[in-house]
Amino acid sequence: MQKRKRERRTVRKIIRIGEKTESKETVKSGSKLTKSLEENIKILEDKFKNDGTVIFRRFQNRYLPKAKCCIVFIEGMIDFKHINRQIIEPIMEQDLTNLSLSFNLLEDIKEKVLPVNDVEESGDLEKILQSICYGNTAFLIDGHDTALLVESKGWEIRAITEPESGKVFRGPREGFTEHIISNISLIRRRIKNPNLKFKFLQLGKQTNTTVCITYIEGVALESVLVELEQRLNRIDIDGILDSGYIQELIEDSPLSTFPTIGYTERPDVVVARMLEGRIAVIVDGSPFVLTVPHIFIENIQVSEDYYDHFIFGSFNRFLRTTASIATISIPAVYLALVTYHQEMIPTQLLITLSASLEGVPLPTSLSLIIMLIIFDVLREAGARMPSAVGQTVNIVGTLVLGQAAVEAQLVSAPVIIITAISGITTLVLPTLIESVVLLRLFLLVLSSFMGLYGYFIGIILIFLHLMSIRSFGVPYMMSITRFKDHDGQDSWIRAPWWSMTLRPKIIGAKNLIRQISRHNRR
Amino acid sequence: MRRKLILFPALVFILFTLTSCWNYREVNEMAIVIGAALDKGLTNNYMLTVELLDVSDGKETQVSTKVLSIEGETVFDAVRKLISIGGKRGYWGHIRVLVISEEIAGENITQVIRFFRQDAEARSDLYIIIAKGCSAKEILHANKTIGRDISTSLAQSLENSQFLSESPPTTLYILSQELKSEISPTLPVVTLLTSEDKTIPIISGAAVFQKTKLAGYLNGDETKAMLFIKNEIKGGVMVTKKDPALISLEILRNNTKIKTQTDGDRITVDITVETKAAIDEVTCNVEFSNLVIFDDIQSLSEAQLKDKLENVIDKARNLRADIFGFGQKIYENDPKKWDEIKDNYEEEFTNIKVNIAVKVEIVNTSFIYKQFE
């Protein structure tokens, strides 16, 4: 008890110290620039102390030497050519003597000299510092206590390539990159409509990450938008490195392994979801864009379903749903049948099983659990491995674990087969891997204690959980359990486009009509 | 709150572990029984013989069968005593056939089948066979013909008997249903055929029971006639004599209706047999494209089938066993009359007037009717 009290006390102390340092910073942030250029440079140099990437470039106008200027920028965040041609060159070369007669030289430079699209005048030191950090250039001139913040962003970005996740045979091959502006343009290019809205905010006290909420006005639900903004504003973390941070911070049921916020690397998927009434969150530095609300069936929907013929798309979706059930059930059901319900196995199969289990030292339940864990280890190793070493994993996995284990009779052949089937079916649903791997073991343990009875208890528990969770007010299992009206059009099957005249319920409730077909006109 | 949070999963976990662990058993720890035979014991009440699957472990696992016998005071006693021979506990969930000796069947068949109905493991779709002319044990010791083990081939031959219709495949479930109702059960018969110093089990014919006691046997042909009356014909061959030719008719469909009429003391049973058949084989040229000859074949086969039916009814009457379920029909149509005659039904059965109407319709012929001169 005493130990715990002591811990609490230290935590309180740390918080108090944190508050103090914070309050000091807020006092400083209000400070302003002075009229002297040298003093201003000193202030900025002081602020950027121990940062070698900040460059201070002093220069003068050819015709007006008394107009001493300085630009401040950060190397690596700016476009050199742009700064040379659009900022330094005009100010150095143009005759500023006429301008110097005017009352406000800085205003004139902004309006008459700098051929740059985005220039802002500011005297707030904090704002200037932040602007420099974003890749803008601060232009200072002697005799003025304000600075011009000139747009000069430019850094190396990854080219738009086909995303590694969610590859398609037919469909667009563009994928999001880490650059938020290019990601926004990928969305904008698909929805050429003034109703497409982008709301920006900064999250992360240290990283100042740009986050963008995007939606189609008149299609997206306002209540979801308000709730999303509230949740985002509540975030008080120091840094955001990937959209995964935000996903975890604003999720409805954070303890559930099922994702209640969707993520994708594909712009076409984001746009399709936005057209159904969803809202997307783009995070700078992450190629994964979040979409809300996210319901269970989205894990089974694949963009290609909508591009292929609807019958083939429905068939593929059927395969995926069966695979999702099979992957968590197969090991558990096999174990239950072999160790509890031998009556349910056909005689011939039982004989075969009995023959292959003869002489295997481990009990079936243990060998299944071990093999499944080994499979997951292989999967994990394969995912992190450089592709050159990946071959080794393959060989070790197939030869050593598969063949050798059976030949040495450490595990029985059916166990290997079951593991393989279960493993392959896991990969059919990439977004559900996190849930599947854990639920499979959960069901396996249950059925090793209680046979099929335990398996069904587990399935009931999983379904109760799935039925109980919501994503931004939308029931997670929506359109899986109900087939009224147009509920089932895009769940177990993918209805043809000419029949999907309405948007999904609840999510698309704001503007339900997707297309006016003959059916609707009547 | 925290204590509750810890306690709840702990309690749930304990609950789970306490429920049904007793049922856990690995497949390779049990001896799978696929067939059993019951005889009268020499020193004890019963002798149980089982056919077990024997999985031998090695570079390549091989499955063979072992036949073991043990005596016991009751069937279950013998079942458990098997552990002392085989080591493993027998697993009865996959038993296919149960062969019962004439001796036990002659006393009372229910004394041995009660165990199989009551025990949790044994299945109700287990076939029951009577061994005729040999002990039940010898059937399981006989030489294999096709396949791995005797029991499976016996069970398979019963499953496929619908294309032969010379034995009544009877499962434990049907047998116990028949024993409960007013029908005298019939069970398939297995005999041993010795040829070239090999003994092969052959299933043919039926054992007729007078309620629970074995009364006599029907041969294959008589069994087929019985199945006609019971409306259990699904296929098979009907050979019609048309001198000098023998014509094989394949039974395609059959529908038999039994109606009972009670008029005072007189009980009449009307049997209408409607069979659709196809000509499949003719031993010498018969011009069945000729309608006169075609009709002749039909009426000949009708007459010959009727003869057979009458013959089997006579035989059943001699054995005093109502294997056709006439009593059941009377009970269903006129329960009051049944109550009157119930106690004396065995006598009554021999006096029932039976009218048989047979209609054979040949719906299909082989197109080639003139094969060789």
CA distance A167 to A186: 17
Tell me the pLDDT tens digit for each residue of B112-132: 888 888 887 788 889 999 999
Nearest to B148 by CA among B64, B269, B211: B64
Q: Is the model's pLDDT at A185 over the cut of 60?
A: yes
Identify the helix (H) or strand (E) that includes residue A108.
helix A105-108
Q: Domain spans of chain A? A: 28-150, 180-294, 309-471
Q: In chain A, which residues have their Cβ closer than 8 Å to the Cβ of B93?
A: 342-343
- Give residue A519's pLDDT: 56
The total of other beta-carbon atoms located within 10 Å of residue B171's CB is 15
Q: Is the model's pLDDT at A502 over the cut of 50?
A: yes
Please report, in angstroms and rounded to a whole number, the separation of the first and last CA atoms in chain A.
74
Proportion of chain B above pLDDT 90, given as a percent: 17
Cα–Cα distances in Å, from A141 out to A69, A75, A149, A307? 4, 21, 12, 58
CB A257 within 8 A of CB A164: no
Torsion of the alpha carbons at B176, B177, B182 and B183, rounded to the nearest 10: -80
Q: Among A18-27, A508-517, B122-131, which is the least confidently predicted range?
A: A18-27
> Rounded to the nearest 10 degrees, what angle do helices A364-384 and A387-395 cross at?
160
CA distance B355 to B322: 16
Q: Is the model's pLDDT at A13 over the cut of 70?
A: no
Name the band, by pLDDT with cuts 50, 70 and 90, for residue A114.
Answer: confident
What integer is the mean pLDDT of A183-204? Answer: 92
Name the band, by pLDDT with cuts 50, 70 and 90, for residue A518.
Answer: low
Q: Is the model's pLDDT at A449 over the cut of 80?
A: yes
Total number of residues shown for chain B: 373
- Give residue B367's pLDDT: 65
CB pairs under 8 A between A and B: 71
Residue of B28, B60, B121, B156 to mutate, testing the A interface (most A Cβ within 10 Å of its Cβ): B28
A446 touches B: beta carbon within 8 Å: yes
Residue of chain A whose Cα is closest to the Cα of B122: A343
Mention every residue, 6+ apart, whose C-beta is less than 8 A from residue B244.
Answer: B283, B284
Provide the mean pLDDT of chain A. Answer: 85
CA dihedral for A396, A448, A453, A334, sign (positive or negative): positive
Residue of chain A whose Cα is closest to the Cα of B14: A449
Name the band, by pLDDT with cuts 50, 70 and 90, for residue A522.
Answer: very low
Q: In chain A, which residues have their Cβ closer than 8 Å to the Cβ of B53?
A: 351, 354
What integer is the mean pLDDT of B315-338? Answer: 87
Q: Among A137-151, A174-188, A474-488, which is the least confidently predicted range?
A: A474-488
Tell me the pLDDT tens digit for each residue of A386-417: 777 777 777 777 777 777 877 777 888 889 89
Name the band, by pLDDT with cuts 50, 70 and 90, for residue A260.
Answer: very high
CA distance B373 to B368: 13
CA distance A454 to B8: 18
Give me the long-range contacts of A235-238 (CB less than 8 A, separation at least 24): A235/A203, A236/A205, A237/A203, A237/A204, A237/A205, A238/A204, A238/A205, A238/A206, A238/A207
- Give residue A101's pLDDT: 64
Please report, in angstroms and rounded to a whole number, the separation of the first and last CA atoms in chain B.
100
One-character DSSP codes across B223-250: HHHHHHHTT---S-EEEEEETTEEEEEE
Q: Is the model's pLDDT at A22 over the cut of 70?
A: no
Total number of residues shown for chain A: 522
CA distance A221 to A411: 54
Strands annotated E in A365-481: 470-471, 474-475
Nearest to B351 by CA among B288, B262, B284: B262
Name the band, by pLDDT with cuts 50, 70 and 90, for residue B235.
Answer: confident
Tell me the pLDDT tens digit for each residue of B66-84: 888 999 999 889 888 888 8
Mention every residue, 6+ apart, whose C-beta is less than 8 A from residue A290.
Answer: A243, A246, A247, A261, A262, A263, A280, A281, A282, A283
CA distance B227 to B166: 8
Strands annotated E in A239-301: 262-264, 279-283, 289-292
A271, burial (CB in 10 Å: exposed 0-12, middle 13-18, buried 19+):
buried
Tell me the pLDDT tens digit for each residue of A268-316: 999 999 999 999 999 999 999 999 999 999 988 989 999 999 999 999 9
One-character DSSP codes across A59-104: EE-SS-TT-EEEEEEETTTB-HHHIIIIIIHHHHHS--HHHHTSS-
Tell me the pLDDT tens digit for each residue of B268-278: 899 999 999 98
Task: Give the minimum alpha-carbon distance from B59 to chain A in angstroms, rounded to a whole number.
Answer: 8
Task: Give the minimum alpha-carbon distance from A244 to chain B in angstroms, rounded to a whole number.
Answer: 29
Q: Is the model's pLDDT at B21 over the cut of 50?
A: no
Q: Is the model's pLDDT at A184 over the cut of 90?
A: yes
Provide the mean pLDDT of chain B. Answer: 85
Residue of chain B whose Cα is closest to the Cα of A458: B16
Nearest to B38 by CA among B83, B90, B81, B74: B74
Q: In chain A, which residues have their Cβ closer than 8 Å to the Cβ of B63?
A: 351, 354-355
Cα–Cα distances in Å, from A126 out to A26, A233, A417? 10, 21, 63
Task: Give the minimum alpha-carbon distance from B250 to chain A in angstroms, rounded to a whole number.
Answer: 32
Q: Is the model's pLDDT at A7 over the cut of 80?
A: no
CB B301 within 8 A of CB B360: yes
Q: Among A202-216, A234-248, A470-484, which is the least confidently predicted range?
A: A470-484
- The tally of CA atoms less than 13 A away on the side-chain side of residue B238 is 33
Give me the long-range contacts of A228-237 (CB less than 8 A, separation at least 24): A228/A279, A228/A281, A228/A292, A228/A472, A229/A199, A232/A201, A232/A203, A232/A281, A233/A201, A235/A203, A236/A205, A237/A203, A237/A204, A237/A205
Residues of chain B whose beta carbon is less than 8 angstroms from a beta carbon of chain A are 16-17, 19-21, 23-28, 30, 32, 34, 53, 55-57, 61-63, 91, 93-94, 96, 121, 123, 152
- Asked if the Cβ–Cβ distance from A356 to B61 is below 8 Å, we say yes
Residue A209, phi then psi, degrees to nearest 5? -75, 135
Phi and psi based region of residue A171 (left: phi greater than 0; alpha: psi -120 to 50; beta: remaining): left
Scan for tokens 């499962």, then name that residue: B171
Tell me the pLDDT tens digit for each residue of A26-76: 444 457 788 888 888 888 888 888 888 898 998 888 888 878 889 999 988
Scan for tokens 């999904």, then name that residue: A504
- Asked if the Cβ–Cβ distance from A354 to B19 is below 8 Å, we say no
CA distance A94 to A85: 12
A168 touches B: beta carbon within 8 Å: no
Residue of chain B whose Cα is closest to the Cα of A338: B27
Tokens in use for A203?
A: 């999250």
Residue of A344, A350, A354, A410 to mutate, testing the B interface (most B Cβ within 10 Å of its Cβ): A354
- Asked if the Cβ–Cβ distance from A358 to B61 is below 8 Å, we say yes
Q: Is the model's pLDDT at A437 over the cut of 80?
A: yes
CA distance A238 to A244: 14
CA distance A138 to A124: 12
Residue of B17, B21, B27, B53 to mutate, testing the A interface (most A Cβ within 10 Å of its Cβ): B27
CB A343 within 8 A of CB B124: no
CB A55 within 8 A of CB A75: yes
CA distance A281 to A176: 13
Residue of chain A whose Cα is closest to the Cα of B92: A343
CB B237 within 8 A of CB B278: no
Task: Give the minimum alpha-carbon distance from A407 to chain B in angstroms, rounded to a whole number.
Answer: 8
CA distance B25 to A1: 47
